[in-house]
Each structure stands twice: as C-alpha cells, then as structure tokens.
Amino acid sequence: DYVLCGDKLKYGKPHPEILLRIIDRLAVKRQEVVYVGDMTVDAQAGKNARVKTVIVTTGSSSPLEIKKERPDLIIKRVADLLNIL
C-alpha cells in the first residue's frame, strides 16, 4: 500500500504526476493499473497517464461531462467494480 497526498506534488490533476509516481513506487506496469475516479479531471488524469480509467457517476461531474472525456468505462456505483475487476 502507498498513500500520496496532493500537497506532496508539483502538479495537480489532470496532470498525470500523481498516477505516474504511484505506478513507479509500486513498480507496476501501466497496463496493470485501473484508475477509479468520479470527476472529469480524474478521467483526464487517467488518460494523460495512459492507464485504464473507470469513472463512477457519483461525483460532482455530470454523466454528460464524464462521457465527453471518454474514460474506458463509466459505472453508476462503486460496487459495480466487483463485476469488472
């Protein structure tokens, strides 16, 4: 496990820095990563980091805004992750 807080970063999302640092720290490949978020900025960060991105429509971004960002998958509930992981 690894926790990385935004105040330790030079750039905020949608810059991929946070994801890239975690990937590096955990020594995993990008194709092994599934990033889950709930806002358009999360979809952008996942795309910028070139990792599979799942957006849950429970955040402050509307489903239409999220669709425009074209994440890999859009789900309605976090529990729906159990069906895809």
State the Cα–Cα distance between residues 68 and 24, nearest whole angstrom. Answer: 29
Look at the pTM and tell me if it is higher than 0.85. yes
Position 79 scores a pLDDT of 96
Contacts of 85 (CB under 8 A, 6+ apart): 34
- DSSP summary character for residue 74: E
Residue with tokens 């690894």: 2
The superfamily (CATH) of domain 6-83 is HAD superfamily/HAD-like (3.40.50.1000)
Give residue-wise pLDDT tens across range 61-74.
999 999 999 999 99
- Between CA 17 and CA 9 the distance in angstroms is 7
Provide the residue ranges of all domains of the chain, joining segments of one domain with +: 6-83
